[in-house]
Amino acid sequence: MNILVIGRGGREHALCWKLKQSSSVKRIFCAPGNPGIGRIAESVSIEPTDIAALRAFAMAKRVDLTVVGPEEPLAIGIVDEFERYGLPIFGPSRAAAQLESSKAFAKNIMRKAGVPTADYAVFDDPDAASRYALARNCPLVVKADGLALGKGVVVCETAQQALAAIDDAMRRGVFGDAGRRVVIEERLFGEEVSYFALVDGTRAITLGLAQDHKPVFDGDRGPNTGGMGAYSPLPHLGDELEERIRRLIVEPTLAAMATWGAPFRGVLYAGLMVNGPRIDVLEFNVRFGDPECEAMMMRFSGDLAEALLAAAQGKLSEQHVRLSPSFGVAVALTSRGYPGNYERGFPIRGLERAQTVADVEVFHAGTALKGDTLVTNGGRVLIVSARGDNLEAALRRAYQAAEMIEFEGKHLRYDIGMRALRKKSLEGN
């Protein structure tokens, strides 16, 4: 097979790395890729949103399967475009991608399907939104309806904050068109987890649960980032959780999408709040999480190319997905200042040595080549992933490798996996 992967981050590097292990894969192209991806795949300088150029490239190079990493191309209809030309592609149609690209759409599907989620209302009129926020006597979350680079959600402590968030999104347009419509919902409390499944239109095969660490500093302090680290699976939350998610959330959602006329294909990523016996959906995404993907790929031991092709063709079965019983972790090395302003262009050292640590892979997220020198070129620079028979072993390897890598302003969180470890130590005492 010839494969085209679309995207430029750590997630796409991890996907290329795993796809490369498939015996059926001949060539891997990545548009646009990055310097790390460039070592294992052929980089193609086409932007992920230039879907006409990507389609023409896929036809010219006889690409047998296209795998889309980020959400933007899905939201603007890359799958519809490829399918019009008979090109196999893994991901949801534009209509089905609304599960992520419109929070109002996702909430309405959940309501129709009876999927547990926070109480909500949708507004196009800022005055009506403000009246609602004042009338509700509970903590609220204000969400821009559309894609806002992960910044469109404001978790509010007070009604004043909710009013300010409504004003920013709807009157001042800080999220552009994405925030002209908002969803206002009840604030939930508990432990956040991410659930992933491969879906072929009707069948969903689980890839398991992972936990992201969004705030920039240890102990979940500081502003939210795209994700500072992740680990998978999450046995500390019990054996039945995945089965309940499947029954209460995944199956009814997929059935509702099919009934509505947009059967879902691709990765279904449910962001969930777990609180005792209660599970609520915070959001759906229609792609792999980043850095969750870099942790999960360390456990995936099936043939990824065959699995994604089967999902694209509506022929997915249990045997396509094999997960090793080990743990996968991912630790992000970021630039000082991220998620705010940061400098780029600092040389990166120690990468080769870090790669020699057993069961470690270092994925590139924001790097560039300046001549022959690898330099920092993003907020998240590298994602150090590791595998281990238990969580502690996987973390030890990841941090050992992370320490070997140096660049000016390097920052990382040292408490990835803390929730699982704390639970374990409480149970041990």
Backbone φ, ψ for residue 139 (5° rounding): -60, 140
107 φ/ψ angles, rounded to the nearest 5 degrees: -65, -40
Q: Does 12 bind ligand GLY (CB under 6 A)?
A: no
The residue ranges of DSSP E strands in 71-134, in sequence order, are 89-90, 120-123
Nearer to ligand AMP, 54 or 270 (CB): 270
Q: How far is the CB of 148 from ligand GLY (least distance, A)?
A: 12
In the three-class reduction of DSSP (H, G, I as helix; E, B as strand; rest coil), residue 17 is classed as helix
**Closer CB to ligand AMP, 213 or 320, in the complex:** 213
Nearer to ligand AMP, 87 or 140 (CB): 140
Which DSSP category does 94 fall into?
T
Q: Which is nearer to ligand GLY, 226 or 339 (CB)?
A: 226
Closest to 61 (Cα-Cα) out of 16, 27, 38, 85 = 27
Residue 80 corresponds to which tokens in the numbers above?
């519809």
Question: 12, 212, 294, 303: which one contacts ligand GLY (CB under 6 A)?
Answer: 212
Q: Which of residues 91-120 bind ligand AMP (CB under 6 A)?
A: 118
By CB under 6 A, tell whether 188 contacts ligand AMP: yes
In the three-class reduction of DSSP (H, G, I as helix; E, B as strand; rest coil), residue 283 is classed as: strand
Give the residue, chosen from 36, 201, 208, 227, that forms a contact with ligand GLY under the rule CB under 6 A.
227
Among ligand AMP, ligand GLY, none, partner that 33 touches (CB below 5 to 8 angstroms by kind) = none
Site string for ligand GLY, 271-300 (x = CB under 6 A): --------------x---xx-x--------
CA distances from 281 to 111, 118, 262 (A): 11, 8, 20
For residues 267-296, which are near ligand AMP according to CB under 6 A? 271, 282-283
Return the residues of window 126-165 that contact ligand AMP according to CB under 6 A.
Answer: 141, 143, 153, 155
Q: Which is nearer to ligand GLY, 22 or 232 (CB)?
A: 232
Angle between helices 103-113 and 251-260 (to 10 degrees): 110
Q: What is the dihedral of CA 73, 78, 80, 86, to 10 degrees?
A: -160
Helix (H) or strand (E) holding 68, with range, is: strand 65-68
The contact set with ligand AMP (CB under 6 A) reads 118, 141, 143, 153, 155, 185, 187-188, 192, 271, 282-283
The contact set with ligand GLY (CB under 6 A) reads 212, 226-227, 285, 289-290, 292
